[in-house]
Amino acid sequence: MSAYVDQFPAEARIVRAAFWSSFIALGVGGLLGLVQVLHRTDVVRFMSGADYYTVLTLHGVLLAITFTIFFLVGIFTWAITTSLDRGLENLRFTWLWYGLMSVGTVLAAIPILAGFVGSVDMSASVLFTFYAPMQAHPLFYLGLTIFVVGTWLAGADWFRTWLVWKREHPDERIPLPTFMVLTTMLFWYLSSLGVALSILLFLLPWSLGIWEQVNALLTRTLFWYFGHAVVYFWLMPAYMMWYLMLPKISGGKLFSDPLARVVFVLFLILSTPTGIHHQYLDPGIAEGFKFIVMTNTFFLLLPSLLTAFTVVASMEHGARQRGGTGYFGWLKALPWRDPIFTGMALAGLMFAAAGFSGMINAGMNINYLVHNTFWVVGHFHLTVGTAVALTFMAASYWFIPQVTGKRLWNKSVALWQVLLWFVGMTFMSNAMHRAGLLGVPRRTAEPQYAGFEFEAGLGSVAELDAQIALGGTLLFVSVVLFLANVVMTAVGDRIDDLPDNEYADTLSGADDAPLVLDNLKLWTAIAVVLVILAYTLPLLSIIDRGGVFGPGGGAFPMVAESLRLVVVAAVDAGVIG
Ligand code: HAS
Ligand code: CU
């Protein structure tokens, strides 16, 4: 064994390219985050209220989509090649999907940026959820589509590598890292189909002027069909790092390989039929459907709770190997001076809090209290903004040396960087949650309404704003330190005493896992059935009420009306409820 760049020099290039694309998005997105946090909290305002929404769109798209997904295609490529111990089949194909993702990003960014230039008739200030009735320039939708197709081809690349490997190793278990990548990609295919349909059938033709109107609720529902699963597309690579790396860095072994497989299977089958929990307040979807989705969502807590158990048990095993003792005393024996460990452990710790705010969001009636408030923004800065982003940054301190063959520039800066993220996020997200409970809305440039006071028992908005601005500033400093460290590492000299590229050993290995867990066809079939059960009736009833292209049928009333009549007839005949 040796460093990744020596084992797989050609693949290391693609992983590097993916990481740099991701880091550029992180830098720009982070700067915009600072600009908007200072604007909202009225500390310093550099822009007009209208530009705020353009900044917010770019911030959301660059961080939630570009930063996360470019990084994850990098580590998925690493996971496939190292765990199957073979290179990718055709590197030209690999560069093709990387190229599509890059072109897609640039195309989508052009109309967003054009929003700053008043004289150009092109804009896409539609926020990162981009559903109707807000409309973007066609280039935005086209860019997103090309980007998603890039990720589909990336998945095809990894599946193909695995199939070739399988032919040569017919009786072997799927290696755990490959298993994690394949199950994640399966639910990504299933869920991204929804957003692809929404864009290609409705939003893109509508923005091109081919359709006069769309059924806003239909496109929203198709968006959220994808919009919950995408959060696990971001999270699974972080989980992968927690399972594969944290135990080893803690000095121990992964508690259970079979349990890790169960977790990924549960995400495959449950990630998609839960999206309507983002629509509890949408009129036009019957309460009963929302109730079913709430139940699915609470089942979906299970794999995360299993993860908390497995990963913490593995860390404890490591700490005890290092001499740790006592009920909690073992915590002191963990390698807290290692930024890779500390970053990931703190990301996990914050995710525990994020899980609680997620459970509150998911409760159908309590969601009415927090929906569309700053609470939700606090929730997702703990999840994607910390569990995922901080894990990716901490993992980079291991990956960048592995894929460049250079030594990490400065370990103490790295340690300060992850600590600063933790402290900054504690201030910012805690205050955001509290502000949300006072009723402070999200997605509002200037929530300080004249003559209206949000003050209540939970504290004053002015005090919360100060914490949010302070937290946001610390986060920006943390991003700068991170980028400085990876750039300085990359320009350093090659060394040849890098640690080996290895995963954690397991206490209970793949052989203890029931064979059925590796039956990907079975789990995919179950996932598809659950999606059909959860979505057929809500979608049909949305079409029944609002038409395929909105009330009146849009551009093709005849087609829309016939489809509507089919649905009405089916309802009358009792085929559907
Ligand atoms: Fe969420 C809204 C429900 C997880 C992201 N979520 C959002 C939005 C985003 C987002 C971006 O039901 C806003 C979308 C928008 O713009 O409108 N979410 C949940 C639930 C979970 C959840 C039930 N969300 C995530 C993850 C995200 C994410 C993960 C990104 C990566 N969320 C909702 C709902 C809404 C929502 C509603 C709509 C709100 C509204 O009204 O608009 C669950 O998956 C959470 C389960 C997590 C746990 C925690 C387990 C703990 C672990 C830690 C282990 C500790 C370690 C370290 C390893 C049960 C695994 C130990 C350290 C030591 C030192 C010992
Ligand atoms: Cu969700």
- Judge contact between 245 and 398, C-beta under 8 A: yes
CA–CA distances in Å: residue 237 to residues 242, 244, 571? 9, 10, 43
pLDDT of residue 479: 98
| Whether the predicted pLDDT of 560 surpasses 70 | no
Residue range 19-75, pLDDT digits in tens: 999 999 999 999 999 999 999 998 999 999 889 999 999 999 999 999 999 999 999
Reply yes or no on whether 228 is catalytic. Answer: yes
| Atom number in ligand 1 closest to CA 377 | 13
pLDDT of residue 272: 95
Q: Residue 410: helix, strand or coil by DSSP?
A: coil
Between CA 523 and CA 530 the distance in angstroms is 11
Query: Confidence band (pLDDT; 50, 70, 90) for 500?
Result: confident
Residue range 335-379, pLDDT digits in tens: 999 999 999 999 999 999 999 999 999 999 999 999 999 999 999
Query: Confidence band (pLDDT; 50, 70, 90) for 548?
Result: confident
Q: Which of 40, 59, 317, 442 is catalytic?
A: 442
Give the Å distance between the CA of 260 and the centre of ligand 1. 19
Domains of the chain as residue ranges with CATH:
4-546 (1.20.210.10)
Would you call 368 exposed, middle or buried from its count of C-beta atoms within 10 A (0-12, 13-18, 19+)? exposed
| Whether the predicted pLDDT of 1 surpasses 90 | no
Query: Confidence band (pLDDT; 50, 70, 90) for 450?
Result: low
Query: Averaged over 235-260, what is the pLDDT?
Result: 95
Q: What angle do CA 442, 141, 232 make, to 5 degrees?
A: 60
The best mutation among 56, 126, 263, 361 to test binding of ligand 1, ranked by most ligand atoms within 8 Å of the C-beta, falls on 361
Give the Å distance between the CA of 230 and the centre of ligand 2. 9
Reply yes or no on whether 381 is catalytic. Answer: yes
| Whether the predicted pLDDT of 528 surpasses 70 | yes
By the CB criterion, residues less than 5 angstroms from ion ligand 2 are: 228
Q: Which of 53, 202, 226, 232 is catalytic?
A: 232
Would you call 516 exposed, middle or buried from its count of C-beta atoms within 10 A (0-12, 13-18, 19+)? exposed
Show the ligand 1 pocket: residues with CB < 6 angstroms.
Answer: 129, 231, 234-235, 242, 277-278, 297, 301, 304-305, 307-308, 311-312, 315, 345, 348-349, 351-352, 355, 358-359, 361-362, 367, 371, 376, 379-380, 383-384, 388
The best mutation among 271, 376, 422, 443 to test binding of ligand 1, ranked by most ligand atoms within 8 Å of the C-beta, falls on 376
Q: 389-419 as b/e, with b when 16 or more CB fall inside 10 Å? A: bbbbbbbbbbbbbbbbbbbbbbeeebbbbbb
Ligand 1 atom 40 nearest Cα: 371
Give the Å distance between the CA of 227 and the centre of ligand 2. 7
pLDDT of residue 313: 95
Ligand 1 atom 12 nearest Cα: 362
| Atom number in ligand 1 closest to CA 127 | 16
**447 token code pair:** 């929530």
| Whether the predicted pLDDT of 563 surpasses 80 | no
Between CA 258 and CA 564 the distance in angstroms is 47
Ligand 1 atom 18 nearest Cα: 358
Reply yes or no on whether 278 is catalytic. Answer: no
Q: Which of 141, 351, 380, 397 is catalytic?
A: 380
Residue range 462-491, pLDDT digits in tens: 889 999 999 999 999 999 999 999 999 999
Q: Provide the CB-side half-sphere exposure for 20 (13 A, CA).
A: 12
Residue 99 CB: number of other CB atoms within 10 A?
14
pLDDT of residue 448: 75
Query: Confidence band (pLDDT; 50, 70, 90) for 423?
Result: very high
Query: Averaged over 217-241, what is the pLDDT?
Result: 97
Reply yes or no on whether 368 is catalytic. Answer: no
**Cis-peptide into 177, omega within 30 deg:** no
- Judge contact between 71 and 390, C-beta under 8 A: no
- Judge contact between 419 and 463, C-beta under 8 A: no
Query: Averaged over 15-21, what is the pLDDT?
Result: 98
Q: Residue 485: helix, strand or coil by DSSP?
A: helix
Residue 94 CB: number of other CB atoms within 10 A?
24
Query: Confidence band (pLDDT; 50, 70, 90) for 559?
Result: low
Reply yes or no on whether 169 is catalytic. Answer: no
Residue 466 CB: number of other CB atoms within 10 A?
15
pLDDT of residue 574: 77
- Judge contact between 342 and 397, C-beta under 8 A: no
Give the Å distance between the CA of 344 and the centre of ligand 1. 16
Would you call 143 exposed, middle or buried from its count of C-beta atoms within 10 A (0-12, 13-18, 19+)? buried
Ligand 1 atom 1 nearest Cα: 358
- Judge contact between 112 and 58, C-beta under 8 A: yes
Average pLDDT, the chain: 93
